[in-house]
Chains A and B, each alone.
Chain A
């Protein structure tokens, strides 16, 4: 632990960060390709040579961008995607397929599920009651959605899926997606996402 002023810490933090050498080399390559300076055809008219050069450079840049891998499936990116997907699904407000009876009974009622649904203490702490359930998916994995309501009628949704594949590593915590908050956690081998209005989730202890 180093003792510095807060500004000193912030400055040092960012000064220690730099683009990876591989990406830096790639960006420099993109820069050199984007310069349509070398003549393409010895006898081509100047205007056409420039257009041909620019088109070739643009093509090469596009090819490099396609070949270069985009954001990898790191835990934070997976969690962000999952949170955004959960918020989007919550906004759709699709109706349930069957009434909620109990957490223990869920797997029997939705036989395609390959995991036992787990109780969500956050619902109880918000005084919300589970109403209905339906199959859905989170990041391509089969999941269950439980729709719940607080005593004052505020709508919440719980998503649960087996915590395998990318979901096994996804970062947990609270994500803000517009006016919604999404709380992601793992409870045993179950990935849980609770979504609702930010103002409601902020009331949770």
Chain B
């Protein structure tokens, strides 16, 4: 994974927007989150890297939405964690037919924490431990989130394909 320190400001902002979109799954909200995160990063004088921007966006997201609602964190037994870790890449290898809107509909069905974990793994190339560190979530939970999210997405896209 790259920390984005060599990225241009535009690239950095686009990357931040995509991360915000993975949390909010709404373009307008994602732009607001990006703006809040960007301003707080500039005010704090932090380094203009992807990792710092993502932390700032996440913090704004938590302030706005998550503190007011209970988030279920399901514990994952230790023996399951290793099985999920083996399954980490394989779960995304299924061949499926979909277009942009269909995938958007499928992603909308995921919980924000599932979408975020999948985004960080697939798009940003984070490892489970890196996601765990950014999101302050146990590694086992991250593995479970990604596994469950990909299963949901596959099932939904397969159903869509069958009904088309």
Contacts and interface: CB of A to CB of B under 8 A. Distances in A.
Interface string B19-52: 0011000111101101100110011000000000
Contacts of A30: 35, 38-39, 42
A2 B69 contact: no
A35 B94 CA distance: 48
Contacts of B118: 10
A130 B5 CA distance: 59
B62 interface: no
A135 B18 CA distance: 42
A125 interface: no
B31 A23 contact: yes
A6 interface: yes
B123 A11 contact: yes
A177 B123 contact: no
Contacts of B34: 19, 23, 27
A14 interface: yes
Interface stretch (A40-48, A70-78, A153-161): A70-78
B14 A19 contact: yes
B14 A18 contact: yes
Contacts of A24: 10, 13-14
B42 A6 contact: no
Instruction: Choose among A6, A11, A176 the residue with the greatest number of B CB atoms under 10 Å from its CB.
Output: A6
A74 B97 contact: no
Contacts of B104: 13
Interface string B69-107: 110000000000000000001011111111110111001
A92 interface: no
Interface in A149-180: 176-179
Instruction: Choose among A3, A9, A70, A178 the residue with the greatest number of B CB atoms under 10 Å from its CB.
Output: A9
Nearest to A33: B42
Interface stretch (B126-134, B135-143, B150-158): B150-158
A5 B94 contact: yes
A178 B122 contact: no
B164 interface: yes
Contacts of B32: 70-71
Contact of A5 (B22, B28, B31, B93): B93
B96 A15 contact: no
Contacts of A31: 9, 38, 42
B68 interface: yes
Given A1-B99, A13-B107, A6 B92 contact: yes
Interface of A: 1-7, 9-20, 23-24, 26-28, 30-31, 34, 61, 65, 68, 70-72, 74, 76-77, 176-179
Given A3-B96, A77-B26, 4 more contacts: A1-B99, A3-B97, A10-B123, A27-B35
